[in-house]
Structure 1
Amino acid sequence: MFRDLVKANRSYRGYDGSYQIDREKLLSYVDLTRYAASSLNIQPLKYHIACEKEEVAKILPLTKFAARLAHLHLPHEGMNPTAFIVICQDKNLAPNIASFQRDVGIVAQTILLAATEDGLGGCMIGSFSLAELKKTLNLPENLEPVLVVALGRPAEKIVLTDMKEDGEIGYYRDENDVHYVPKRALKDILC
């Protein structure tokens, strides 16, 4: 059921490092993005797929996971994602990066829902070293990385909870490393 798929699509920060995602599966996720909505139908987004261990290892230190849990080093040792899809904007097609952020969210969610349906998981990462990533991937000047999507087989437990009485919505981990994500109630998001 679609509701279950949406609820299962979490921001994972721990993966089974022994599970490799093959390039064909990643290509199938990117192929789905061609059918997603795009502002003015310009379709300025391009994708760099990384699933080779060496390239994944070069990208990982250029990303930052779980800013709210800065005291933890996530992912934990041995629990790294095994693939990345780097979403880039082709500035030759659309020079204004800000104008297409909606498109970026739509395609990232499309990729993650497809991965979730396959029993995989991922995390949208907006905090990354732009210049270093562009250099590492040897991207041409016109391609600007705008979002990094980490992917792999999830190896952590994430629990959705109701927002606390004090209104705190920050995610947190307990002593067993279970990740809790408070959510606002439906009544709290209606205008």
Structure 2
Amino acid sequence: MTSKIINNDFSDITFGRRSVRAYDENYKISKEEMLEMIAEATKAPSSVNLQPWRFVIAESDEVKAKLKPLIRFNTVQNDTSSAMILIFGDMHCYEYTEEIFDSAVEQGKMPVEVRDAQVSAIVPYYKSFTEKEMSDIVKIDSSLAAMQLMLVARAHGYDTNPIGGFEADQIADAVGIDKERYVPVMILSIGKAAGETFESVRFAPEKITEFK
């Protein structure tokens, strides 16, 4: 797959990012490039590399229509974006432990004895978590991937907007996935920005930092 990255300027990607509300509604990102961006975004770290993030790309008019009443404060993004990327955390991510660590062994990235020790420790440990503890872990890890995806999108020449204002108890049903297993983390709108964007203010580091 040929990379479609068009911008490798770290400063521009990181400090030039803006949350975009309106997009060129005639521009559609291909499935191939969307998967490329997901692959690049999921280089993000996760707890013991269990990669609990799961993505649903809502790009059809039909699915966007289902989302619209559930994101009532962000309907412009929904209507004009190339896609709405729904990010969920998999509460059963530990079920993939062996698959992940077996792959690491096959690729020469981990000795067999390390794989065996890791698998025997990780699975029972994760199974011991309360629902809240597991939810916290998968949401933190999935948020790391979400932030990386926003930066990756910018490197590809696109803009995004992270959306947390949605009906969390209904979003999984709207896209037909198991709401007991997959917890909603956030939604990212993505596309080509339409119109001017504006820089928002931030606290000075001295206000939010303590040295001990």
Instruction: Give the structure-1-normalised TM-score.
Output: 0.74
Secondary structure of 2:64's counterpart equals helix
CA deviation string 1:54-89 (max 9, x = no partner): 2223223322547xxxxxxx628x962220111111
In structure 2, relative to structure 1, the CA distance for the partners of 1:57 and 1:81 (3 Å cut) is farther
CA distance in 2, matches of 1:119, 1:132: 32
> Are 1:65 and 1:125, in contact at CA under 8 Å, matched by a contact in 2?
no
CA distance in 2, matches of 1:93, 1:79: 32
Runs of at least 5 residues in structure 2 that lack an aligned partner in the other structure: 1-8, 95-130
Secondary structure of 2:24's counterpart equals coil
Which has the higher relative contact order, 1 or 2, with Cα contacts under 8 A spaced 6 or more apart?
A: 2
Task: Tell me the residue number matched to 2:24.
Answer: 16
Secondary structure of 2:85's counterpart equals strand
In structure 2, relative to structure 1, the CA distance for the partners of 1:81 and 1:109 (3 Å cut) is same
Structure with bigger helix share is 2
Runs of at least 5 residues in structure 1 that lack an aligned partner in the other structure: 67-73, 161-180
In structure 2, relative to structure 1, the CA distance for the partners of 1:2 and 1:185 (3 Å cut) is same
* AA at the equivalent of 1:15: Y
> Are 1:56 and 1:82, in contact at CA under 8 Å, matched by a contact in 2?
no
Structure with bigger strand share is 1
CA distance in 1, matches of 2:145, 2:86: 11
Percent identity of equivalent pairs: 27
Q: Are 2:113 and 1:75 aligned?
A: no
> Are 1:16 and 1:154, in contact at CA under 8 Å, matched by a contact in 2?
yes
In structure 2, relative to structure 1, the CA distance for the partners of 1:7 and 1:15 (3 Å cut) is same
Aligned length, in residue pairs: 163
* AA at the equivalent of 1:31: A
Secondary structure of 2:81's counterpart equals coil
- Out of 174, 193, 199, the residue aligned to residue 154 of structure 1 is 193
